[in-house]
Amino acid sequence: DSGVTQTPKHLITATGQRVTLRCSPRSGDLSVYWYQQSLDQGLQFLIQYYNGEERAKGNILERFSAQQFPDLHSELNLSSLELGDSALYFCASSVGSRGGDTQYFGPGTRLTVL
């Protein structure tokens, strides 16, 4: 158990819909990272928040947005969903702000867009 929790575990929705994925970091960790893993793909970095502020941005689509709240939990919002958005979405947390810091991953949310 990494100490990072993600909800829901599975999500099935239709194209054009909007969903919100939730992540609670390990106690004491200030950074939260979001990753997307599509079939046969590596982990694609989406976005990082550190202590409530956006710290780094990766290949995140404009239809996607994220935020980190004062209690340090984070939400990833995916809107106007397309079939190609079906993937595993991982959240990770680390103590510091550096991308190379050891990141602890949650179990992931599997999103299926029908």
Q: Which residues bind other proteins (CB under 8 A)?
A: 2, 4, 33, 35, 40-45, 48, 55-58, 90, 92, 98-100, 102-108
Q: Residue 100 Cβ, how far from other proteins at the closest point, in Å?
A: 3
Backbone angles phi, psi at 83, to 5 degrees: -55, -40
Q: Residue 47 Cβ, how far from other proteins at the closest point, in Å?
A: 9
Q: Residue 103 Cβ, how far from other proteins at the closest point, in Å?
A: 7
CA 12 – CA 18 distance, rounded (Å): 11
Tokens 């099935």 found at: 12
The total number of residues written for the chain in this structure: 114
CB closer to other proteins, 56 vs 61: 56
**Chain CA centroid to CA 109, Å:** 9
Q: Residue 22 Cβ, how far from other proteins at the closest point, in Å?
A: 15
CB closer to other proteins, 10 vs 70: 10
Paired tokens of 100: 């190379």
CB closer to other proteins, 15 vs 59: 59
CB 75 within 8 A of CB 20: yes
CB closer to other proteins, 10 vs 71: 10
CA 3 – CA 100 distance, rounded (Å): 19
